[in-house]
Homo-oligomer: A and B are copies of this chain.
Amino acid sequence: MDKHISAAAILEAEILERIPLADAMDLKVPRYTGDEIEMTAPLAPNVNDKGCAFGGSMASLLTLAGWGLVELGLRAQGLECDIYVGDSQLRYHEPVWGELRGTARFVKQGVLAALAASLRERGKGHLDVVCEIAGERRAAATLTARFFARLRK
């Protein structure tokens, strides 16, 4: 199996086992390329009182996508880390009336390599990720978030 597909499948199983809310959301990790990750969730378990996607589900999906992108990127470099989300800016542009589809990517090239170097040198570091939930004509929601990584002892 392609190493990216395999990494995404392992991550999905780990998330569903260790993060009960992701399991309640029925989260899937259908795509990972090394530079980008996609996570999806059906509407039914993520609906709100108005019949569209609950803001908390969107925030959760976007946060998981960003975290997963960093987690898999560092694993590929042989770095086992604890990764925490830091300050985040969430913009909701339009409601989502169907499946939630979120993608995360690094804000610029080279940030993963820089984080890996910082982890090897100082045992910690951070980088910024941008995550979007697909909408009808534009992103339905956007998250810009900083993630902090710390090398596991």
Listed in ascending order, the chain A residues whose CB lies under 8 Å from chain B are 14-15, 18-22, 24-25, 44-50, 54-57, 59-61, 63-64, 67, 82, 84-92, 95
Residue from B25, B63, B82, B87 within 8 A of A91 (CB atoms):
B87
The answer for the CA separation of A146 and B14 in the assembled complex, in Å, is 34
Task: Evaluate contact between A45 and B20: CB separation under 8 angstroms.
Answer: yes
Option from B19, B55, B59 in Cβ contact (under 8 Å) with A47: B19
Q: Contacts A20-B24, A95-B84 hold; do A56 and B47 have CB atoms under 8 A apart? A: no
Given contacts A21-B24, A56-B59, A63-B59, contact A50 B82 (CB under 8 A): yes
Most chain B beta-carbon contacts within 10 A, residue among A47, A48, A49, A56: A56
**Given A85-B92, A89-B89, A92-B85, A19 and B60 contact (CB-CB distance below 8 Å):** no
Contact B55 A85 (CB under 8 A): yes
Decide if A54 touches B19 in the complex (CB within 8 Å): yes
Q: Which residues of B contact A91 (CB under 8 A)?
A: 86-88
Give the complex CA separation of A92 and B143 in angstroms. 14
Nearest residue (CB) in B for A90 is B88
Closest to A147 in B: B55
In the bound complex, CA of A41 to CA of B59 (Å): 17
Known: A18-B49, A21-B24, A59-B60. 17 other contacts (CB 8 A): A15-B49, A19-B49, A21-B21, A21-B56, A21-B60, A55-B84, A56-B56, A56-B60, A56-B61, A56-B63, A59-B90, A84-B92, A86-B92, A87-B90, A88-B90, A88-B92, A89-B90
